[in-house]
Structure 1
Amino acid sequence: MFASLHTRNYRLYLSGQVVSNVGTWMQRIAQDWLVLDLTHGSATALGIAAALQFAPMLVLTLWGGVLADRVDKRTMLVVVQSAMGLCALVLGTVVLTGVVELWQVYAFCLLLGCFSAFDTPMRQSFVSEMVGPGQVVNAVALNSLVFNLARIVGPAVAGLLIVAIGTGWVFLLNAVSFLGVIAGLLLMRPEALFRTEGVPRAPHQLREGLAYVRSRPDLVAILVLVFLVSTFGINFFMTIALLARNVFGRDAEGYGLLTTLLAVGSVLGAMIAARRSAKPRLRVVAGSGLAFGVVLTVAGSMPTYLAAGLALIPVGFLSLSFTTAANSSVQLSVPPELRGRVMAIYMLVLLGGTPLGGPLLGVLAEHYGGRAPLVAGGIVTVLSVLAVGAVLARRQVALSRVLTRQARLG
């Protein structure tokens, strides 16, 4: 289960991620709560903040993937992580000085999104350089395990700290947490990395990555599913906040507890995924997506706070199973010289739909209540999996007929 940890460079990286991810989740909770406090619980404002933070993914992520195939990923990650830590430091200072306004939070969301657009494809494609192709599935699962363990600890700690000392100090603590991942990157042994030769700068490299994906129907199917499920189903930062505050009348601690229960299920999903070594099949990706849509609809329909919290455990399990299977399948399906660009496309569809889904779900909650985003997200997820499955089935039938006809003629 922990085979990737035998690699020293990956151990250093993962150790830094443990610290940094806890800080990131603390800031995620604090940022959401700050927006709600500044707007007296506006779901629309929360959706706008999310859209601003993830909008740069639509514009910059693909170029981040091109850059990832050209440069030293380790060095670039140090630069980008430092910039993200500085954002947290400045935001915390603004809050503590008592001059924070909503537009300032929006501005920092946008700036952080720009840095994240370059950081995300860089980190995703760096995994295989640390562990080699034989351990990619295990390393991706362990990344998810650490991420979701942090999602258990981070929100719970953030909820307590917001009540005790306020959101400003939470942002400053997140700024300090970036030192962990930066130190891990600097302590690595470059000669032990499984590096591929950087792709020389040339025209049309972005177009080349897009053309490769278009030529692979299996990749297209996974990417379409990831986009639809993440846009309307995996919008937990918003839907759970609305469920806690606007449906059940809970404070920051109650919000943190719901997020923690979601993360408990995600950790269980990551532990199961870490036992796999082979590339997940498309049916595994689709099956986990279908089951996720069903349990998400059920969770949104729960009548009490406790029942909703318990229902979020299988939601977390299945969402993690879906994203881990999709991530590993894509990484192991592409040649190393294109991995940065293809993973950028993957992260674009995973996170880039949030600017669309966030405001739509916010408006839906304003008109139909805080449960509506969860229920609608689950229904859209189920329909998406069924629709993509039907298209692939028709394509397979058509291909089989062509091959049969060719065999007869031959």
Structure 2
Amino acid sequence: MPALPAPIRIRDFRLYWLARFSAVLATMGMVVIIGYQVYDVARSEYGMSIREASLQLGLLGLAQFLPLAILTPVAGWVADRFERRTVARIANGIDLCVALTLGWLTANDALTLPILFAFAALHGVARVFVGPAMAAIAPNIVPAKILPEAIAMGSIAWQVGSVCGPALGGFLYAADPAMPYWASACLMALAILLLTPVRKVRPPAITGHAHPFRQMIDGLSYVRGHRFLLGAITLDLFAVLLGGATAMLPVFARDILKVGTEGLGLLRGAPAAGAALLALYYAWYPLRSNVGIKMLLAVAGFGAMTILFGISKSMTLSLVALALLGMLDMLSVYVRSSLVQLHTPDSMRGRVSAVSGLAISASNELGELQSGLVAALLGPVGAVVFGGAAAIGVAGLWSVIFPELRRAKTFDPPPFLPPDEVAKEMA
């Protein structure tokens, strides 16, 4: 029997991978420019101070989080009931319209804060539907035996797009403020075209009729009743919620480091570059021992690198701090994601994953709101330093409140209760 081909040699997967890379490249390039424009418009057109404009960045995070919080269960339900390529193409089409409109408004110098907030929220709507649909396509177009390789390759598409997208957006903005949006629109159109020849991916027949919000509640109930899962998920939630520095990057690029949009693109891509390097290392040398304590130490290190970035006045040092921050965040996410999956029975993995995904979204977008609010009081440097110190505090506190985390030695899963016993626990 001939060996199974590598994922990239499968035509449908190759088209899917290129579509995902194009969409991530477009999205990350567009998001970094929206953030910069919000801050720049607030400073130049509305005459806001640095602290007042920093608050607008926090409100931008809230505008992007609300669609995720409201529509996450609906998006999962849609991906499980409709042809998944179609869902992904429609969602990317919405983002394409966002890019075209913002490009036209930028070219005609017609941007206002309400317009930027509205289109950031619409972008959030598109993103919440793209994620589940695209994630559900890969297992249907590659053989099961090479699915882990396909997932790893999909992660590479995300990380490389996250590194290159912000840098590309920043350099294009320096050449012409509307150009990043035109480029994003072209890349979104390319993603739609690349997905079209992929064979149709229809979801399996639905045997139950549970409402999607009921499923989310079941997942929350299960996590709340299992301390290990609760500790692992909330550790990431509160650490990133309090320690996120990315919301303040436009402030640092424009008014502190004074490196403009080109520098902003590099600053925004540095954490992803660090994360990609560590992911590549773990592909060759996987983590095997003392995983729990290493996750807690990684969160503390994430906080320390956040503080270093906050006090840095050097672009080189800031890039190094952000790259190390990304590496440590990747280590924490790698351990947490593995532990959550392996410590959850198969009958609950989907719902627990939905809860974990919502927690990640909350930590990122609400972290931007928290950073903006604190920056309005302490200034951007004070907000970043405060957030880093808070992340260190969370790591220490969680090691005491949830000793199960620091006692986790390996990724080996515990014995699970039978499905009927799981149901009794949730009742």
Per the TM alignment, residue 61 of structure 1 is displaced from its structure 2 partner at its CA by 1.3
Alpha-carbon displacement from aligned partner over 1:71-130 (angstroms, at most 9, x marks no partner): 443332222222222222222222223322211111111122223233334444555555
- Secondary structure at the aligned position of 1:202 is classed as coil
Deviation, structure 1 residue 228: 1.1
Q: 2:86 aligns with which of 58, 70, 75?
A: 75
Q: Cα 1:316–1:196, aligned 2, differ >3 Å: closer, same or farther? A: same
Alpha-carbon distance in structure 2 between the residues aligned to 1:350 and 1:23: 21
| Contact 1:141–1:271 under 8 Å retained in 2 | no
RMSD: 3.2
| Match status 1:26 vs 2:40 | no
Establish whether residue 252 from structure 1 lines up as the match of residue 255 from structure 2: no
Instruction: Supply the distance in 2 between the matched residues of 1:324 and 1:135 (Cα, whole angstroms).
Output: 20
- Distance verdict in 2 for CA 1:5–1:127, change over 3 Å: same
Distance 1:131-1:302 versus aligned 2 partners, 3 A rule? farther
Alpha-carbon deviation of 1:394? Answer: 6.9
Query: Could you tell me whether the CA contact under 8 Å between 1:279 and 1:332 is conserved in 2?
Result: no
- Match of residue 313 from structure 1: 323
Contact 1:225 1:384 in 2 (8 A): yes
Once the two structures are TM-superposed, the CA of residue 352 in structure 1 deviates from its matched residue by 1.9
CA contact (8 A) 2:245 2:306 kept: no
Aligned partners of 1:106 and 1:395: how far apart in 2? 39
- Superposition pairs for residues 78-227 of structure 1, below 5 Å? 78-124=89-135, 126-129=137-140, 139-166=150-177, 168-190=178-200, 197-198=205-206, 200-203=208-211, 204-227=214-237
The answer for the alignment partner of 1:346 in structure 2 is 356
Task: Tell me the secondary structure at the aligned position of residue 401 of structure 2.
Answer: helix
Q: Distance in 2 between matches of 1:4 and 1:223?
A: 31
Match of 2:39 in 1: 36
1:365 corresponds in structure 2 to 375
Shift of 1:268: 0.6
Q: Counterpart in 1 of 2:396? A: 386
The TM-score normalised by the length of structure 2 is: 0.80
The 1:24/1:189 distance shift into structure 2, 3 A limit, reads: same
SS at match of 2:380: coil
Deviations 1:367-409 (A, max 9, x none): 3333223322222222222222222227999xxxxxxxxxxxx
Q: For residues 286-342 of structure 1, what are the alpha-carbon distances to aligned partners after superposition, in whole Å with 9 as ceiling and x for unaligned? A: 343233222222232334232222222211222223234433444555566655443
Aligned length: 392
Q: Residues of 2 paired with 1:336 and 1:76: CA distance? A: 26
Q: SS at the partner of 2:75? A: helix
- Write the letter of the residue equivalent to 1:115: A
In 2: Cα distance, 1:140 partner to 1:152 partner: 19
CA distance in 1, matches of 2:274, 2:293: 21
With 142-151 and 221-230 compared, the bigger mean Cα shift is at 142-151
Distance 1:285 1:67, change over 3 A: farther
Q: Percent identity?
A: 24
Q: CA 1:88–1:253 in 2, change beyond 3 Å: closer, same or farther?
A: same
1:45 aligned counterpart, secondary structure: helix
Unaligned runs of 5+ in 1: 398-410
- Answer whether contact 1:43 1:366 (CA < 8 A) is retained: yes
What corresponds to 2:14 in structure 1? Answer: 11
CA deviations on 1:141-188 (whole Å, 9 max, x unpaired) are 44443223223322222222112111x221122122123333343333
Change (3 A) 1:74 1:279: farther
